[in-house]
Structure 1
């Protein structure tokens, strides 16, 4: 039975399509009415669209001296290394003056290369002389073969009818054999001559190669020195590890900036702009410059150049920045110092000085006691010995007298090398003694050979002077041939003896050079072994140094070549090395008095500022605060103070200081 639909249901189903058609018609008519009017305004909007307004851009940078030379620690095969010679900060130098020299083992390498060059030249001379002696032997064999051929020709020229058939055939066979033997001897002589020429050319190449290597090493040794490229003042840099200032005897890595040579003081500003802000700056734009170290001071700078590619600055995050060089107006009169922080703002009333802040009280600073005469305590530089063990060291803070042992280093490699070199020296010395005996015997044998050859030549000469009519023609011709042969052999014997003497001399020179090289290495090892016991050159106070991890050295520590484990400080030349934040640097001046407090000793001492740092710098890798160094000198010689002790100083604001602030 089929189900039936109600009338109401059928009516609804029929009305739905009609309702949908009506709604669609209404929507289409409405969209058509709105499309035509909206098309015309869109075109003027696109044509009149304007670029967005330039947003404010803020730049940070620092003051840089334009005519400075960076003192870079030279490259070396070992690291870290010791700054063996470093002129004092503030020293006026001229172009070409020595500024920095590192400790390097290049001198030992040069001495070894010179010895190798001497040995190679001696070996080449010996080999060439031996080949020349062999070539003379082939010349002798060739002369003998020529004489044999000449005699064979004399015998072969006898008529067949005058001698037996057997003798005739024997003479012809001897002529054929002598002819072939002469060809062989001639080829052997030519081969020996070519061997002598090749060995001489190869030897020249070997010597030239060593000479080039020696010249390269000498050039490398010269690179261990840094000389001033311009006249100026030396300013020391700071270690990137602990923020300590580089001094003579400090440890550094190749490539570190140990300091700069500042010229006549012409300054500029280097700032960095974020990559996203680069489109809002252009060369020639005016910038307002303010300095953290000079409150209230402002200048108008001008963008001189902007780098074409951004660079990363890890200390600021993951962003990339363009380097902007900003020129300063001439005659600005501000006491700018390299490293000062600069705030730059374009389109912000450039050159308008802000109202100076209210006069602040003189700051309280922190520092530590240091000595102006401090000698580093470090292991010696022994070639091919990189690591040492600290066997013993005097207690920290101990007063060491002159001649007293400070530290003792150990290295098993030094002992091993000493034993090996001593064994090699004994072996080479025995070989040299045996060679001298053998060569003396060879000299006597050479003299006997020459005497014998000359005697044979004299005998042949006497035989050939017999009357030709008294002997057979064949025998006379052979005597003449023999005289020519023996005379030539006697001359070659003299030449060969001279060549052999030259070969023996070269061989002796090479072995003597090896012995001298081993003795030189033994002397260097013995000197280094003696230097592993560090003795105080003068009276001083021993202060331990910290490692790269911040820990102080202890007995049993492993010490790399070039690292200092302690410092021998002169207690009679103490001063305070302190830093002042950049924002308070304008409140400090030379001659300003200070009250120094030593927390550990409960002492209060009077001091005064004697020097200000020539550059601003970051305090350390862990603290990016910009600071300026200053030195304070005690008014009286303090008693009971030790270098390295922390102190607090309160600077006294005097009338001169207040005038500077105002």
Structure 2
């Protein structure tokens, strides 16, 4: 019996040696993905320069301080209006000139018509005299004299017709000139009104309550007073701090683990003692390199924060985020 136990022990030892050393246990798949994130408002209203005819760049004269909470109607931005005011002066001069033309044209027309009416009265009187002379049927009037009276009567009649036509043409011409001048007046009135409205739009007030976040120029610098900005630039933004999201940058290797609707937990770098919660609401289908210096492939995602704290949270703050799998 002792021999049997020895043989069994030797066989067991040989099997163990053939199997080799015992491999360590594989680590368990983690139940969360840890990434970094940056806070943003889910409802951020951008304020851009107003659309103005023939103007593409603007100079900032005043900006509300960044971080200040403003109420609806409070001053946010004031843009330079010197160019618009120069254009307004020119258009006002054009309007004044056409108003003067209308007045002068009316006076000139009245004077011309008065002269023509006097000429018409005189022509009608001469026509009446010529008719009376021609109507005399007397043997004392020689044939040549009667022929002269006939010619005078015809000339007088033609003179009356001519002056009547001149009066009619003068009235028609005056009406046409007035229509043209009134059209010019309406055009300049419209331009003056538009420029006055454009000048008013250069003073921009807050369309709603919010906190001021100053915009940036094309090279990434904060806009400041005296800066030149362009149409379409965001001068300031008014984020709604009660509706916040966190923008996530997730490594490519985690792509298969992350799905819409997954819960997230985040802690602000500025207040790590407090935990906030949310849910993944957007996942970009496009992958990209993180940046030029870090050639790691990543994709973007957005999580909506369900318990946002307007007292602590500000757009641009960073956070540590865990996506629960």
1:647 to 308, 319, 322: 319
Residues 506 and 646 of structure 1, relative CA distance in 2, 3 Å threshold: farther
- Which of 545, 565, 588 pairs up with 2:235? 565
Kindly state the Cα deviation for residue 459 of structure 1 after the two structures are TM-superposed.
3.1
Kindly indicate whether residue 269 of structure 2 is the aligned counterpart of residue 599 of structure 1: yes
- Paired residue secondary structure (2:212): strand
| Helix, strand or coil at the partner of 1:649 | strand
Distance in 2, Cα, partners of 1:548 & 1:412: 24
1:507/1:361 CA distance change after superposition, 3 Å:
same
Q: Which whole-Å CA distance do the structure 2 matches of 1:612 and 1:446 have between them? A: 86
Q: CA deviation at 1:543?
A: 1.0
- Contact in 1 for aligned 2:36/2:319 (Cα 8 Å): yes
Who is 1:140 aligned against? none
Q: Partner residue of 1:447? A: 117
CA distance in 2, matches of 1:362, 1:546: 36
The structure-2 alpha-carbon separation of the partners of 1:461 and 1:591, relative to structure 1 and needing over 3 Å to count, comes to same
- Counterpart of 2:6 in structure 1 is none
Which runs of structure 2 are paired with 1:140-289 in the superposition (5 Å)?
none
Question: In the alignment, is the contact (CA less than 8 A) between 2:91 and 2:188 conserved in 1?
Answer: yes
Structure 1 partner of 2:91: 421
**Aligned with residue 631 of structure 1, among 290, 302, 306:** 302
SS of 1:436 mapped into structure 2: helix
- TM-score, structure 1 as length reference: 0.41
Question: How does 1:508-527 map onto structure 2 within 5 Å?
Answer: 508-527=178-197
Whole-angstrom distance in 2 between the partners of 1:465 and 1:621: 112
1:477 match: secondary structure: helix
The alignment status of 1:436 with 2:102, answered yes or no, reads no
Unaligned runs of 5+ in 1: 1-357, 654-662
Q: Deviations over 1:285-323 (max 9, x none)?
A: xxxxxxxxxxxxxxxxxxxxxxxxxxxxxxxxxxxxxxx
Q: 1:578 to 1:443 in 2, by over 3 A?
A: farther
CA distance change for structure 1 residues 645 and 446 in 2, over 3 Å: closer, same or farther? farther
Tell me: CA distance 1:477–1:547, structure 2 relative to 1, closer, same or farther (3 Å): same
Q: Secondary structure at the match of 2:222?
A: coil
Superposition deviation, residue 644 in structure 1: 2.8
Residues 397 and 642 in structure 1, CA contact (< 8 A), matched pair in contact too: no
Report the CA distance shift for 1:531/1:576 in structure 2 as closer, same or farther (over 3 A).
same
Q: Are the structure 2 counterparts of residues 594 and 488 from structure 1 closer, same or farther at C-alpha, using a change threshold of 3 Å?
A: same
Any idea what SS the aligned residue of 1:577 has? strand
Deviations 1:83-138 (A, max 9, x none): xxxxxxxxxxxxxxxxxxxxxxxxxxxxxxxxxxxxxxxxxxxxxxxxxxxxxxxx
CA shift at 1:604, angstroms? Answer: 2.8
- 1:315-369, CA deviations, whole angstroms, 9 ceiling, x for partnerless residues? xxxxxxxxxxxxxxxxxxxxxxxxxxxxxxxxxxxxxxxxxxx977654344432
Which of residues 78, 88, 93 in structure 2 aligns to 1:408? Answer: 78
Residue among 604, 607, 611 paired with 2:282: 611
For residues 213-241 of structure 1, the C-alpha deviation after alignment (integer angstroms, 9 at most, x for no partner) is: xxxxxxxxxxxxxxxxxxxxxxxxxxxxx
2:195 counterpart of 1:528: no
**Distance verdict in 2 for CA 1:574–1:517, change over 3 Å:** same
Question: 1:382 touches 1:524 (CA, 8 Å); kept in 2?
Answer: no
How far apart are 1:520 and its partner, in Å?
Answer: 1.9
In 1, Cα distance between the equivalents of 2:301 and 2:82? Answer: 45
Does the aligned pair in 2 maintain the 1:396–1:544 contact within 8 Å?
yes
Is 1:492–2:162 an aligned residue pair? yes
Aligned-pair CA distance for 1:502: 1.8
Does residue 393 of the first structure (1) align with residue 72 of the second (2)? no
Partner of residue 456, structure 1: 126
Partner residue in 2 for 1:480: 150
Asked whether the equivalents of residues 362 and 588 of structure 1 are also in contact (C-alpha less than 8 Å), the reply is: no
Task: Number of aligned residue pairs: give it.
Answer: 295
Instruction: Kindly provide the CA deviation profile for residues 62-82 of structure 1, in whole angstroms up to 9, marking residues without a partner as x.
Output: xxxxxxxxxxxxxxxxxxxxx
Structure 1 contact 468–476 (Cα < 8 Å) conserved: no
Which has the higher relative contact order, 1 or 2, with Cα contacts under 8 A spaced 6 or more apart?
A: 2
CA distance in structure 2 between the partners assigned to 1:500 and 1:648 by the alignment: 86
Give the direction of change, closer, same or farther, for the CA distance of 1:433–1:627 in structure 2 (3 Å limit): farther
Task: Provide Cα deviations, 1:377-406, integer angstroms capped at 9, x if missing partner.
Answer: 222222233332211211112111111111
Q: Residues of 1 paired with 2:279 and 2:263: CA distance?
A: 4
- Cα deviation 1:428-463 (Å, max 9, x = unaligned): 333332332222222333333333333333333333
Query: What SS is found at the alignment partner of 1:369?
Result: strand
Contact 1:464 1:480 in 2 (8 A): yes
Q: Distance in 1 between matches of 2:81 and 2:103?
A: 34
Cα 1:532–1:625, aligned 2, differ >3 Å: closer, same or farther? farther
| Cα deviations by residue, 1:133-183 (Å, 9 ceiling, x for unpaired) | xxxxxxxxxxxxxxxxxxxxxxxxxxxxxxxxxxxxxxxxxxxxxxxxxxx
Q: Does 1:375 align with 2:39?
A: no
In the superposition, relative to structure 1, how do residues 558 and 472 fare at CA in structure 2: closer, same or farther (>3 Å)?
A: same
Inter-CA distance 423–533: structure 2 relative to 1 (3 Å threshold): same
Q: Distance in 2 between matches of 1:412 and 1:621?
A: 43
The separation in 2 between residues aligned to 1:415 and 1:423, in whole angstroms, is 12
Distance 1:496 1:621 in 2: 84
- Taking a change above 3 Å as real, the CA distance of residues 616 and 626 of structure 1, as seen in their structure-2 partners, is farther
Q: Structure 2 regions of 5+ residues with no counterpart?
A: 1-27
Q: How does 1:311-350 map to 2 (within 5 A)?
A: none
